[in-house]
Amino acid sequence: MKRLAVYCGSATPQDPRYMELARDVGRTLAGLGIGTVYGGGRLGLMGAVAAGALEAGGEVIGVIPEALTATNGRGGEVANHDCTELHIVKDMHERKAAFTRLSDGFIVLPGGVGTMDELWEAVSWAQLGYHDKPVGVLNAFGFYDGLLAFNRHMAEVGFVRPAHQGIILAETELDLLLERMRAHEPIVPIVRMDPGTL
């Protein structure tokens, strides 16, 4: 794994553990020689991941939609021009396609609606054969307990095929998650879509 896309929130929760976690993830990936591909902002957990990686001398590639490159008066992101590379794209779809193209897998840290959108798109694109990369969830502080239970519930009801129930790799510790991601075996997709159509 040369590069991993890191999905996480652009908010700064009151609990300082979340920001510390994000900075530590960036620092750890850089220490392992793994580049970080992320949302390109400098706020919240997103900014902390980038800062941690850059402080440790790591490669950081930001991908941000043009509309989020400057403060818009309503809490918009500010592009992080300290990145090794900063790609400004047209929209959110282009952003997620770039994450998929530029990375060898995905790590999901705590976040909100945007992070959930990125997670489920990575999972659904694996099901459809757009990629065969590992999708890891770092379930720090039990943040994703409910989501993982819901994913099991979808499978139990029959909305997730047995062959796809293991797409999400979840661990509470980063080292264990990376170990599982390195050992990832691609699933058999429903179809095999052309990644060039993304």
Q: What is the mean pLDDT of residues 43-51?
A: 97
Element housing 29 (H / E): helix 16-31
Asked, for residue 66, whether it belongs to a domain, the answer is yes
Report yes or no on 190 lying in a domain. Answer: no
For residue 137, give its domain range.
Answer: 3-183
Three-point CA angle 42, 96, 117, nearest 5°? 85
Tell me what pLDDT residue 192 has.
76
Across the range 92-119, mean pLDDT stands at 96
Q: pLDDT per residue over 33-45, tens digit each? A: 999 999 999 999 9
Q: What is the pTM of this model?
A: 0.92
Domain assignment of residue 195, yes or no: no
pLDDT at res. 107: 98
Residue 191 within any structural domain of the chain: no
Q: How much is the average pLDDT of 85-96?
A: 94
Query: Beta-carbon neighbour count of residue 67 at 10 Å?
Result: 13
CB 135 within 8 A of CB 106: yes
Q: What is the pLDDT of residues 127-179, one digit of tens each?
A: 999 999 999 999 999 999 999 999 999 999 999 999 999 999 999 999 999 99
pLDDT of residue 76: 53
Separation of alpha carbons 126 and 169, rounded Å? 13
Q: Phi and psi (nearest 5°) for 84?
A: -60, -45
Residue 74 lies inside a defined structural domain of this protein: yes
How large is the average pLDDT for residues 100-123?
97
Encode pLDDT of 15-28 as tens digits.
999 999 999 999 99
Q: What is the mean pLDDT of the chain?
A: 93
Does residue 34 belong to any structural domain of this protein?
A: yes
Q: Are 167 and 135 in contact (CB under 8 A)?
A: yes
Q: Write the CATH number for 60.
A: 3.40.50.450
Contact (CB, 8 A) for 65 and 89: yes
Distance CA 84, CA 16 (A): 26
Of 179 and 68, more confident = 179
In a domain, 115, yes or no: yes
| Total domain count, the chain | 1
Tell me the two tokens of residue 136: 């890891």
- For 69-86, the pLDDT digits (tens) are 865 545 456 899 999 999
